[in-house]
Amino acid sequence: MIRGKSKECIAMLLAGGQGSRLKVLTEETAKPAVPFGGKYRIIDFPLSNCVNSGIDTVGIMTQYQPLELNDYIGTGSPWGLDRNFGGVHILPPYAKSKKSEWYKGTANAIYQNINFVDRYDPEYVLVLSGDHIYKMDYEKMLRFHKEKGAECTIAVLDVPIEEASRFGIMNTNADDSIYEFEEKPKQPKSTKASMGVYLFDWKILKEYLIADEKDPDSSNDFGKNVIPALLGDGRKLFAYQFDGYWKDVGTLQSLWEANMDLLDPNVPIELKDKNYKIYARNYAEPPTLISKTAQISNSFVAEGCSIKGSVKNSVISTGCKIAEDAIVINSVIMPDVEIKSGAVVKYAIIGQESIVGMNAKVGEIPEDVTSVKKDICVIGKNTVIGAGETVGQ
């Protein structure tokens, strides 16, 4: 018997992807646990969104390199998700009596956790992914879902038409109902791109997940199978328009760009907002020490750093040491990195706990800085760049 009242809406967060496009950064780390914005991990954004939207039960489905992520989530107390009933739960794939298998796809991951969802007897289930940076009040989306009498609501974002072919595009009627879904269309009919945020009536979703699992040809994916099946059956699908900042940080380039966006006053992502905090696990670090020789301009610097060198247009994460005469330009420095004296880091991402040796050079300024299509130079976690070495030039 379940003790505790049922929940109206719970969230299921897909965090099992390998994130192979983040290359060296995800060799030992699940993508949602990749550091972002100086003191956050990517997963802090969907988790904080849940909390700020009044959702207190979140299942996190993990399977790839879960150690760091599990450790980071812990009891969920940094997000206020250590609840007596509900709260945050890590859901790895597990062995069942008849068979055991990994999560085969996004839909299968939730299918395998039907018992978890049923325990809370929710009316609605929100399906999220752990690789997007955005601040969104899901409560408004839920209100929209109820008003429209929808069975499935998909959050969409207006993208420039020339970029639309990179996204899953929703083609809608005047009342926002969806009549067609096209994955990466060559000739997009609309600019409403799916944000990977789905809200379902649990009864309907459960039915379709069970049916999808029975289909041996299905790849058990929301975008490829479940949504088309719902559309094919004439179910009520609606597109919920989101106007704020949203960015998929699934590639090194976009991860770097999203960090740079924080420094751009024209980009509407504000981390310093008393009414909408992004929560993160905090470590006991002293405030940052900035020495006489330091020069910092247009940059974010988290706590626990010691800055003696020059930092420009960069994001410096918790616990970094930047020595005298070191130069950091347009770069993302992840936690606990040491950049030694005379080293120059330009247009780069330096992974956690790495060391850039004396007078080493990492990355270079692209020829055309207005459209950085050139690869950003990336150094993986725990890497040592020897003194005087040159990387990415």
Partner 1 sequence: MKMTGIIFSNVYDTSLGDLTMKRTVASLPFGGRYRLVDFVLSNMVNSNISSIGLITKYNYQSLMDHLGSGSEWDLSRKNANFYILPPFASGATNVYRGNLEALSNAIQFLQSIKPDYVVLCDTTVICNINYEKALESHVKSGADVTAIASRDLCAYETVDNDLILKKGEDGKAVDLAIGQSLGEDSLAGMGMFIVERKYLLSIINNYVARGRYSFERDFLLTRFADDSVSINVYEFKGPVLRNHSILSYFKNNFRIMDERIREDIFNPKSPIYTKVRDEAPTYYAETSSVSDSVIADGCKICGKLENAVVFRDVTVEEGAKIKNAIIMQGSSIGKGAKIENAIIDKNVTITAGATLIGGSSSPIIVHKGDTI
Query: Where does this chain bind partner 1 (CB under 8 A)?
Result: 37-39, 77-78, 263, 271-272, 277-280, 282-303, 311, 315-317
Decide: 65 and 24 in contact? Cβ < 8 Å.
no
User: Minimum distance from CB of 95 to partner 1 (Å)?
Assistant: 32
User: Minimum distance from CB of 295 to partner 1 (Å)?
Assistant: 8
Choose between 268 and 386: whose C-beta lies nearer to partner 1: 268
- On the 0-12 / 13-18 / 19+ scale of CB atoms within 10 A, 267 is middle
User: Minimum distance from CB of 275 to partner 1 (Å)?
Assistant: 12
φ/ψ of residue 351, rounded to 5 = -70, 165
Rounded Cα–Cα distance for residues 187 and 15 (Å): 31
Rounded Cα–Cα distance for residues 349 and 202 (Å): 40
Decide: 194 and 177 in contact? Cβ < 8 Å.
no
Choose between 32 and 37: whose C-beta lies nearer to partner 1: 37
Choose between 99 and 274: whose C-beta lies nearer to partner 1: 274
Choose between 241 and 282: whose C-beta lies nearer to partner 1: 282
Choose between 19 and 304: whose C-beta lies nearer to partner 1: 304
Q: CB atoms < 10 A from the CB of 371, how many?
A: 7
Choose between 257 and 303: whose C-beta lies nearer to partner 1: 303
DSSP state of 100: B
Residue 49: which region, alpha, beta or left (left: phi > 0; alpha: psi -120 to 50)? alpha
User: Minimum distance from CB of 259 to partner 1 (Å)?
Assistant: 11
Determine the distance from the C-alpha atom of residue 125 to the mean position of all C-alpha atoms in its chain, rounded to a whole number. 19
Choose between 288 and 330: whose C-beta lies nearer to partner 1: 288
Choose between 135 and 346: whose C-beta lies nearer to partner 1: 135
Residue 344: its H or E element: strand 344-346
Nearest to 360 by CA among 380, 344, 371: 344
Determine the distance from the C-alpha atom of residue 52 to the mean position of all C-alpha atoms in its chain, rounded to a whole number. 16
Rounded Cα–Cα distance for residues 211 and 320 (Å): 51
Choose between 82 and 207: whose C-beta lies nearer to partner 1: 82
Q: CB atoms < 10 A from the CB of 41, how many?
A: 24
User: Minimum distance from CB of 333 to partner 1 (Å)?
Assistant: 12
User: Minimum distance from CB of 288 to partner 1 (Å)?
Assistant: 5
CA atoms within 13 A on the CB side of 259: 34
User: Minimum distance from CB of 87 to partner 1 (Å)?
Assistant: 15
User: Minimum distance from CB of 167 to partner 1 (Å)?
Assistant: 29
User: Minimum distance from CB of 301 to partner 1 (Å)?
Assistant: 6
Nearest to 280 by CA among 83, 132, 90, 73: 73
Q: CB atoms < 10 A from the CB of 147, how many?
A: 9
